[in-house]
Structure 1
Amino acid sequence: MAKTDFKTIDEYQNTFPAAVQERMQQIRRIIKEMAPEAEEVISYQIPAFRIGKQFLIYYSAYAKHISLSSPWSPALLKEFETELEGLKVSRSAIQLPSDKPLPTTFIKRLITFRKKECEAKK
């Protein structure tokens, strides 16, 4: 991926193969469904969504996974302990392997939880 001055999420996503684009588009649709007020932005040269000044979530694609990113709170990591088993997880990223179906129910719950966290910080 040579270009690193993305202005829109579409510009970012269009640099990937069709299958990866579709997975990212699924995540984008879920975010829009669960947090329609969230604004699409590019931050750190990857897609991000924010509500007001609070960043809801970021996502990015790699050769073998898509990462969902945010500074995860200890409460979030505890809430999703079961769903996170078997995934690579850090304090700021959750890797969703490309060779497994996208866990859409988990992503919906994650967005709902993050939305509540963002609203609590207002």
Structure 2
Amino acid sequence: MDKVATIDEYHRLFPDVREELDLMRRLIREEAPMAEERISYGMPTFRSGQNFVHYAACKTHIGFYPTPSAIVAFQSELSGYKSSKGAIQFPFDQPLPEELIRKIVRFRVAEVLEKKGKKPLQK
């Protein structure tokens, strides 16, 4: 894969699934408007003082990497997806679970803010 510097460049590498990648980005941005976007570990990453979620285009799915704590917290809601200690697979042949992604991002934002000693923003 070509080395990229921005999320826009990353998305352009995957024209067949760009719409899904754009949706993933939009969901994260809407729930974490303060987040800084960057490429880290070769994939789109969102951070606010520290990385809190990553995602990547894979052959058959979007890999979503919200840290092990989020996967444990949402274990029952993730039962329909392949997941591991730090990753969730959202297959391209299914719609992205938008509300679940939003909840996971809000959870991670709250964790990061708690570590900083701040209260999460209420929606």
Q: Which SS does the other structure have where 1:121 is aligned?
A: helix
Out of 89, 93, 101, the residue aligned to residue 99 of structure 1 is 93
Gaps of at least 5 residues in structure 1 are none
Equivalent position amino acid for 2:25 in 1? R
Cα deviations by residue, 1:82-122 (Å, 9 ceiling, x for unpaired)? 21102111111100011111100000000000101111122
Distance in 1 between residues matched to 2:4 and 2:42, nearest whole Å = 6
Q: Which SS does the other structure have where 1:68 is aligned?
A: strand
Question: Please, what TM-score do these two structures have when normalized by structure 1?
Answer: 0.89
Distance in 1 between residues matched to 2:36 and 2:78, nearest whole Å = 27
Gaps of at least 5 residues in structure 2 are 117-123
Identity of aligned residues (%): 44
Distance in 2 between residues matched to 1:63 and 1:57, nearest whole Å = 20
Q: Which SS does the other structure have where 2:76 is aligned?
A: helix
The equivalent residue for 2:61 is: 65
Out of 11, 15, 21, the residue aligned to residue 13 of structure 1 is 11
Alignment length (residue pairs): 116
The equivalent residue for 2:104 is: 110
1:26 aligns with 2:23: yes
For the aligned residue pairs, the C-alpha RMSD in angstroms reads 1.2
Equivalent position amino acid for 1:114 in 2? R
